[in-house]
Structure 1
Amino acid sequence: MYTQETPPRHPGRAFGARLALVAALLLPVSGPAAEPGIVIATASPAGVYHATGQTLCRLLDGPCEARTSGGSAANLEAVRAGEVTAALAQSDLQYQAVTGTRGFAAAGPDPELRSVFALHGEPFTLVVRRDSGIDGFADLEGRAVNVGNPGSGQRGTMMTLLEAWGWSLDDFRPAHFLPADQQSLALCHGNIAAMVYTVGHPNPSIQQAVRLCDAKLVDVTGPAVGRLVAETPYLTHATIPAGLYTADQPAVATFGVRATLVASAKTPPDAIHAIVAAVFDDLNAFKARHPAYGDLTPARMITEGLSAPLHEGARRYYRERGWLSAEPPTPPEPPTPAEPADPSL
């Protein structure tokens, strides 16, 4: 699918006039509270998603809003409803939305969902106070744990892990459902013993917990995690580098997903082409905006973590750059439900 990069064919701002036209076409025809032409759904202001949305808007020559939201699941619902131009979502939830599984089972598969590109890796991160006595995921049983607000990616990944672990939310005493921008203070105030966050690093919310209440990051490993990664194509083993938050912080072993940008097939191709061009025409400038982008390459960004077909606007740009040697794969089929057990056995 990916072939060697060729020199850029697009000057950095040559698409500006076209984007302005696209934005104008997307604007409401009337009304005093007209929305921006390009709307990118992000997540909590505390995370990398919102910083990424803001970066994309700064790179675009036209009206653009990085809109906060409840997170990945909420963003995918907004894309399906046609409420936003594009949105950020974890690769696991992208897969579930396009196949109509787990939290999207009631809505069913989204045949209009399209991938644009992948972004940074997002390790599943467990943060606890150093005095909590928690040294691994198994120690969370019977403790107060923030699992994330409904609609967030961290909540979705946590539920996937709990299923693999053989637990439910009832194994916590109790489970809390705070959004990401509230959980570090809840940890420091002693309202929760641990918090989880599926996020790019370094992250200011985690840094706040480490700085204010001597929190630490804990490995999330074990046979259940190994099976989960082996059986799930959009999950990988991940390592949070040593020294990101304190000089003595060791490397942390866990698993994770990738952040992805998605849109509806109904979003105008020129709008998506402009967003893609804003990033790839000067990828080094984009990568300089946040440390989480450090390992990004075109090869990884147009292949990893993408379960939905490529959006026409993105595919057009990648072809112009000579990066597509074949048509992208068709979306995955939903898993076949297991046969019910024979009660006589």
Structure 2
Amino acid sequence: MHTDPRAPRCAPARLVGATCLVGLLAGLPIPGSLVADEGRIIIGTASPAGVYHVTGRTLCRLLESPCTAQTSDGSAANLQAIRQGEVTIALAQSDLQHYAVSGIEGFSDAGPDDSLRSLFSVHGEPFTLVVRRDSGIREFDDLRQRAVNVGNPGSGQRGTMMTLLEAKGWTLDDFSLANDLPADQQSLELCHGNVDAMVYTVGHPNASIEQAIRLCDAAIIDVGGEAVDRLVEETPYFTRATIPASIYTPDQPAVETFGVRATLVASAATDPEIIHTIVTAVFDDLDHFKSYHPAYGELTVESMITEGLSAPLHEGALRYYRERGWIEADDATEEETSDERDDEHEETAESAAPDEPDDMNEDT
């Protein structure tokens, strides 16, 4: 679908009635066979219910190149797809990006991904605990021996949950049921009474959480304590986070928790011109990009090019940031000089990088 650049921009708004979000979430999953089409930019996202998919579709709308926002199992699956060359770029939580670069946690068997590169970070993603009001759950510790949806394997929400459980000395066996439904199914599971709580690491407002609150009067509660304090103090990718008051209902209080950042990543082998084009589309009119979802409202250039990025900046992104004067040569996160990179790219581009798109006017 081609997007008319003259179409009205969507202003940031609360989730209810946000027609821009409805349009962005309307895309259906695209068959994985499209990855083989090297003229098309493939963006790994996550569940259709989350902000990752909105972000992928937003990027496609900003690009003139053929582009697909492809659903996936989430951050871990996206990072694996980047390593295997199955997608052009992908979204991943900042904590899982760090794990992939370091070859730790769920990436210990695969080892460090030395080819992983950052483009920029996007919105903050608070770790969100949603509970049935009749469950009696008032804090995280009340989840012991309760039924909880922890997220599907490969998702960032499950990865963050497992990290928090480890910090607390818990395992999944501490729950009476550890359900593994994806984000787009968990709110109905909560409302049907099959689980007492669900967790989601996501930007706000979010359609899945809004659905749980609207359909079964669910509540969002604080997540804190000694384990959270340690995670925030000891890791570079976790920060304290606040879910603003009244974002879902007029009487919803502000919720204190912790969280990560959504980041956009690619392989070092990805053509720098493609990456430069993507970064240019976002930062040449950042206000336009920010208008697509309320979660982007607080984004700044400084935060996007510095926070949550464990992997070195991709050559194409770094070139753009230098052109804008945002990063000096001495401040670059990669060691090679531009000349060395150009020489290397000339030698390897034919075999390692995707072909330039031929059709420059379709957004799917």
User: What code does the residue aligned with 1:100 have?
Assistant: G
User: What code does the residue aligned with 1:118 have?
Assistant: S
Q: What TM-score, normalized by structure 2, do the two folds share?
A: 0.81
User: What code does the residue aligned with 1:161 have?
Assistant: L
Q: State the alpha-carbon separation in 2 of the partners of residues 295 and 118 from structure 1.
A: 12
Partner of 1:301: 304
Structure 1 unpaired stretches of 5+? 1-11, 13-30, 332-345
User: What code does the residue aligned with 2:331 have?
Assistant: E
Structure 2 unpaired stretches of 5+? 6-33, 336-364
Q: SS in structure 2 opposite 1:262?
A: strand
Partner of 1:80: 83
User: Residue 269 in 1 paired to residue 272 in 2?
Assistant: yes
User: Residue 125 in 1 paired to residue 125 in 2?
Assistant: no
Do 1:94 and 1:307's aligned partners in 2 also have CA atoms closer than 8 Å?
Answer: yes
Partner of 2:172: 169
Partner of 2:225: 222
Q: State the alpha-carbon separation in 2 of the partners of residues 175 and 129 from structure 1.
A: 16
Query: Post-superposition shift, 1:36?
Result: 5.6
Q: State the alpha-carbon separation in 1 of the partners of residues 259 and 332 from structure 2.
A: 23
Q: State the alpha-carbon separation in 1 of the partners of residues 307 and 251 from structure 2.
A: 32
Query: Post-superposition shift, 1:223?
Result: 1.0
Query: Post-superposition shift, 1:62?
Result: 1.2
Q: State the alpha-carbon separation in 2 of the partners of residues 330 and 275 from structure 1.
A: 20
Query: Post-superposition shift, 1:329?
Result: 3.7
Q: State the alpha-carbon separation in 2 of the partners of residues 295 and 215 from structure 1.
A: 27
Deviations 1:173-211 (CA, angstroms, capped at 9, x unpaired): 110000000000000000100000000000010000000
Query: Post-superposition shift, 1:327?
Result: 3.2
Q: SS in structure 2 opposite 1:289?
A: coil
User: Residue 243 in 1 paired to residue 250 in 2?
Assistant: no
Q: Residues 264-343 of structure 1: matches in 2 within 5 Å?
A: 264-325=267-328, 326-329=330-333
Partner of 2:111: 108
- Decide whether aligned partners of structure 1 residues 278 and 107 sit closer, same or farther in structure 2, where only a CA change above 3 A counts: same
User: Residue 184 in 1 paired to residue 187 in 2?
Assistant: yes
Query: Post-superposition shift, 1:228?
Result: 1.1
Aligned residues: CA RMSD: 1.6
Q: SS in structure 1 opposite 2:306?
A: coil
User: Residue 252 in 1 paired to residue 255 in 2?
Assistant: yes
Deviations 1:95-138 (CA, angstroms, capped at 9, x unpaired): 00000000000000000000000000000000001111000100
Q: State the alpha-carbon separation in 1 of the partners of residues 271 and 333 from structure 2.
A: 22
Partner of 1:59: 62
Query: Post-superposition shift, 1:330?
Result: 6.0
User: What code does the residue aligned with 1:328 have?
Assistant: A
Q: State the alpha-carbon separation in 2 of the partners of residues 45 and 35 from structure 1.
A: 24
Q: SS in structure 2 opposite 1:123?
A: strand
Query: Post-superposition shift, 1:224?
Result: 1.0
Do 1:36 and 1:63's aligned partners in 2 also have CA atoms closer than 8 Å?
Answer: yes
- Range 195-204 or range 322-331, more displaced: 322-331
Q: How many residues align?
A: 302
